[in-house]
Amino acid sequence: MSAHDHAADAHSVSGDHHEQDGWDFAHPMPVPMLLAVFIALVILTVITVAQASFDFGSYDVAIVMGIATVKAILVGLFFMHLLYDKLFNLAVFLSAFVFVGLFVILTVSDSRLTSKDFIPVDDAVVVSPTE
Amino acid sequence: MSTFEADSATDSHGAHGHDHDHPKFLAHHFETPEQQYDSGKLGTWVFLVTEVLFFSGMFCAYAIFRMLRPEVFEGCSQFLNTKLGAINTGVLLFSSLTMAWAVRCAQTEEYRKLTAMLASTLSCAMIFLGVKAIEYSHKWEMGLLPAGMFSYDPAHPHHADSPNYLVWICLPFALALVGVVVWLISAALQGNKFQVACLKPLTVVAFSFFIGVGLGTFLESGDSGETHATTHHESGEHALELASTSSLLGREDRGATEFGVIERLAGDATNSGLKNELEALEAQAEIASGSAILNDSADSDATIQKAPRDFLTPSRAGVFFSIYYCMTGIHAIHILAGIGVLVWLLVRSVRQDFNRQYFGPVDYVGLYWHLVDLIWIYLFPLLYLIR
């Protein structure tokens, strides 16, 4: 940890006019950038809602998840400062998604192999086909 | 951050220079504000990792059930109002903007703006919850509940005898609003300027919940409500065909043979062979009575009327709504937790605790808030935007 901290101190982000290292490290995001990211996110939301009225068949989920991921990347890089953050923090955060991927892929494929539908049916309704 | 390192950091200052080097906001075991900020930030990121993994369990449940029963998700998603979901997405994105802006204000030491930004973020959170209250109460009134409690009846979508859920959800928020206003008045009378400065924005925040409720009511009564109504009507007509065994048994004008089939069917509802027998008998009876012409759509299996029958059963639709309430409910709990820490930040912002060397708390809460926003970014299309 300490080696990492010192390395970060060495290339402190904004060493403007402070005599000491590690005292002037704030990196305010420019307001126009924040507004631009927000507008991009709103536009992407509108696109997501709009595409729901078209039928893309099996690509549907992929498109929706793709747009959501673009939005997530925008939020992560700019609102969450990941673009200017230490690489280590990014690695920590991304490692979570590696394990989420492993978890979901293994569980879903296992469920696909072993059981067709394990939702217990308790509907005491008899469907009369015609009236 | 080992204790060894912290010890060596304080030792290096010696006895005399300690107070001079360490401002109030810098904990004694850190050498520089940046070190303090970085270690706090790493801790926050690790916390966010646990949050992502925590939510991934629910996303996994979603993936499995959607894979097994895609038509249930497609059908039940129609009950979720896309407009309300979209407006909530916008509100949450805007709150993310104000939160990121608040971090900037803390770094640039613009205190009034910082308080305003935090109050905007809080207000958006409250509006989000207000819209959510409309969504939840609307569904509860229709019996669209988790599996086990699911009691949606397409013929009577609105339960007349159900309690007014919206009032019960609004009650704690109304109490909070009244409490804040009373506190504000008493603080103003006592001349406590700090409390007044904190409570003024908090009054707006507490009131914002009801802006959300109003917004939700307005959008719910819009045209998407109409499409809901038609869906209900369609499935309502169809539900008449979903006669229960007991009502079938109650019919007196049936022949003895048919009654025997129904009786056996009552003993074993899953026996599809018996169902077919009953179907054949009824078709015969109808042809005999001349009413079969009215029901010629029953010949084809793939008609649109067939669809609601498959997904609107308590166990199937109930699973969808279990997942829906679990995911959105835990997300809402995260919003509530975020409101809690944001109020803490607001008070500290009024106290002018933050500066360009000490803005960590604002940044950490911001990261958490953006993560909650990220989760909603995925929840919204996955739940609301399935055709």
Q: For A100-119, how does the pLDDT look when each residue is reduced to its tens digit (9 = 90+)? A: 999 999 999 888 877 666 66
ipTM of the complex: 0.78
Tally of domains within chain B: 1
- Per-residue exposure over B173-212, b if at least 16 CB sit within 10 Å of its own CB, e if not: beeebeebeebbeebeeeeeeebbbbbbbbebbbebbbeb
Q: Do A128 and B94 touch (CB under 8 A)?
A: no
Other C-beta atoms closer than 10 Å to the C-beta of B59 total 19
Q: What is the CATH number of the domain that holds B63?
A: 1.20.120.80
* Whether B343 contacts B335, CB under 8 Å: no
Q: Is residue B162 part of a domain?
A: yes
Show the beta-strand stretches assigned E in B150-308. none
pLDDT at residue B230, rounded to an integer: 40
Of A30, A78, A86, A1, nearest to B366 (Cα)? A78
The predicted-structure confidence for B284-321, as pLDDT tens digits, reads as follows 665 565 554 444 444 445 444 444 445 666 667 888 89
CB < 8 Å to A65, chain B? 378, 381
A&B contacts, CB < 8 Å:
217
Q: Is residue B281 part of a domain?
A: no
Summarize the confidence of residues A32-52 as an average pLDDT: 94
CB < 8 Å to B237, chain A? none
Q: Do A80 and B367 touch (CB under 8 A)?
A: yes
* Whether B356 contacts A26, CB under 8 Å: yes
pLDDT at residue B86, rounded to an integer: 93
Find the domain containing B345 and state its range.
39-223+311-385
Tell which wins on pLDDT, B235 or A31. A31
Closest Cα in chain B to A76: B370
Q: Is residue B76 part of a domain?
A: yes
Of B334, B346, B332, B353, nearest to B102 (Cα)? B346
Q: Determine contact: A84 vs chain B, CB below 8 A.
A: no
Distance CA(B241)–CA(B154), nearest Å, equals: 11
Residue with tokens 């409500």: B225
Q: Is residue B61 part of a domain?
A: yes
Closest Cα in chain B to A2: B1
* Whether A61 contacts A52, CB under 8 Å: no
Residue with tokens 């080992």: B2
**Residue A59 DSSP class:** G
Of B277, B254, B290, nearest to A129 (Cα)? B277
> What would the 3-class secondary structure string for A41-58 be?
HHHHHHHHHHHCCCCCHH
Distance CA(B361)–CA(B106), nearest Å, equals: 10
Q: Determine contact: B24 vs chain A, CB below 8 A.
A: no
Regions of chain B with pLDDT less than 50: 1-18, 223-256, 292-300, 302-309
pLDDT at residue B288, rounded to an integer: 61
Tell which wins on pLDDT, B221 or A92. A92
Question: Looking at the partner chain, which of A5, A81, A128 has a beta carbon nearest the beta carbon of B35?
Answer: A5
Q: What is the pTM of this model?
A: 0.75
pLDDT at residue B265, rounded to an integer: 54
pLDDT at residue B260, rounded to an integer: 54
* Whether B300 contacts B276, CB under 8 Å: no
pLDDT at residue A15, rounded to an integer: 42
Question: Looking at the partner chain, which of B34, B68, B243 has a beta carbon nearest the beta carbon of A23?
Answer: B34
